[in-house]
Chains A and B, each alone.
Chain A
Amino acid sequence: MSGKTVWAIVGVLFLGGIPLFVHNPYFLHVFILIFLYGAISGAWNIIAGYAGQFSLGHAAFFGIGAYTSTLLFLKLGVTPWLGMVAGGLLSALVSVLIFYPCFKLKGIFFALATLAFGEVIMQVSIYWRGLTRGSLGLMIPFRPSFYNMMFESKLGYYYITLIFLLGIIFLSYSIENSKMGFYLKAIKDDEDAAEAMAIDTAKCKLAALLISSFLTSVGGSLYAQYITLIEPEVAFSLFGISIQIAIMSIIGGIGTFLGPAFGAFVLVPLGEFIRDLLGGKTPGIHAMIYGIMVILIVILLPKGIMRWISDLVQKRPKGVPAKG
């Protein structure tokens, strides 16, 4: 077994074993959020990190996932296990209809167009009260069962979100080391040159987009099942979802398969800590600190923790072999 495989197994066993020692529901809650945000940040990373299409509208897919599985469950009694696949397919369809034409735009203009799109989807979901109950939100009655994807203890959510995160990390790793991964990197570096090398850039970007939107949507469904209350302003939130997952990938290392999870491990506990320390007392303070943190991260760590560590490792004195 190679060193990498050993590390992977140790990591999985460690994360899987945490609930054996930690029983405090609050800590488990923080871990569930880390896994969930790390996973959707990883999904975002596939289109933004690997393919270089910097989307700021992924909240749209997250919200579509949350609303589709919830509405199918509430109105038709469809199990969320199927509902989240339905939501994923719907998100993939929407991504083709809206994001695909936006591929014509380069750089920040793609980002701005997708940002506007996310805001519009939120507006529509607030307005469409007959279906979504608007700003009142949708409440899922708590009836724990495997069929309903609801659990008495946090353990069920813990392992579902952990598997979701590990799945996305593994998928990202596979993409990174596949032909498609190299194509995507070529597109990110220089799209015209990639096209000249006979890479079907449109097809590659579309594939990355479909995977990314589908998985983000599944994350939305899981979120809805866990929180059991969804509101348009939260599920389609520009700052809460779209920006948040981008920041996590940036902190951890954009375009690396572990970066988004790393970012979530730093940012989620930090956010919870600041909220506990200041939240509720005065409005605005905790978001002000968040805003400053975002600026500092971009200025100080634009390449992310993952690359920062590997730079450090490479600076070691000569003669010391670098590990795998």
Chain B
Amino acid sequence: MPNQIDELDEELRELLRRKADAIGPPDGLERTMRRSTRRLARNAVVALLTLGLLGSGAVAGVRSLGGATGTKPADTSPSPSPMPQASGSSGVRSAVSTEGVTWFHPTPEMPLGLAGADGTLWVASGGNIAFPAPASDPGAEAGVASLARFDVDTGKITTVEVGQAGDVGVAAAFGDAWVLRRSGEVIRIDGVSLRKEASIRVPNPSEAAADGSLWVVSLGGTLTRIDPRTNAIVATIDTGVPATRGIENNGDLVPPNNGVPATGVSVGDGSVWVRGGGRVVRVDPETNAVQTTIDLGGSVDGLAVGPSGVWASVCGPGGPPCTWQLVRIDPATNAVASRRVLGRWESSAMPGVKGSIGRAGITVDSGSVWVSLAVNYNQYARGKILRIDPATGEIAATLVVPGSGGTTVGVTEQANTSDIFGPALIEGGAVWVINIESGEVVRIDLPGF
């Protein structure tokens, strides 16, 4: 801090005081009271609904890594809280829980990527990417991207830096974390030591999945196959999905739609499946060749492969506005076996429309298909988790993900802030969701895994 008090400092103090005084009295008391009353009522309803789910057995119980089981949350404040740790740090993060939902905060700034395997959860955070350094002061504001390792049993969290702030994703494979830097790099981080094992140049990596190899799809639609024994690229495959470069931001590429990668990849049923544009492309790992391209129309947002088939969330036919559908592809025929309407994305304009669904992520386990929805994306968004019975395609359970400490991140008529939920993930007997804007990682304990 500069200790010297010069003329400019004094002028600045005077300027701020006078500008602040000139703003006048606040208005909106009545409006604030109405909104807060509605929110409190909504919180009560959500609490009752959640308790109802508990009673029906849909919610397994309370799991708290930071406090006593079953207690009310100690704090939902925007926090006088510990600093995000920068490098090589570890500790048990603060967590609050209520009725089967646990919030972990703070995570490093801007969590964007979520992956998990073998009881370990990985969260990749972009750092301060919203405030890029000005050209006159490069590096001054950018900060660092980081990777956090959550032990889902103990709550221990260890964080390492993974380069300059920027858009990131993460995959868990071969016991390690693979950090995807959209700027053109895949970084392999040792799952135990958290040391950097390798850096592999891959153009604009979007998502990755693994069977015997690591498969990385680029924003441009290229599929890159990496041998985990040598960390060498052994094949690059043009999948033919539409190239999407993303938005240039501080020299980095930010995928459109606030972090939803335009392309994605999943493995299962002996194939590699790539999504991009309105298509799902099936690749044969034996030949590294495209087997078939399935046109689903619209835009494919989520893709997951499980025992019940290949599942995709599609918003189409054009738009937004468009209609979200949960589509199941039968891998035996490569044909669409079922479609189920999930809702509408009414508009991408700000402010959004109440009830509008801005994104739909999918994850699959042996017994269920889980759909993570961000409702009313451009205003406050509610995270909503649907559990789908793969046999019938019907919704077996619905849970609105509350915000910190039991307050609902509710839909309001105000349009100047939002809470954006990323895709869900299942690990360690729970559904995990990241909240991009609040920087929270949310754990929802549900049975049936």
Decide whether A and B are members of one complex.
no
Please give the residue numbers on chain B whose beta carbons come within 8 Å of chain A beta carbons, in ascending order. none
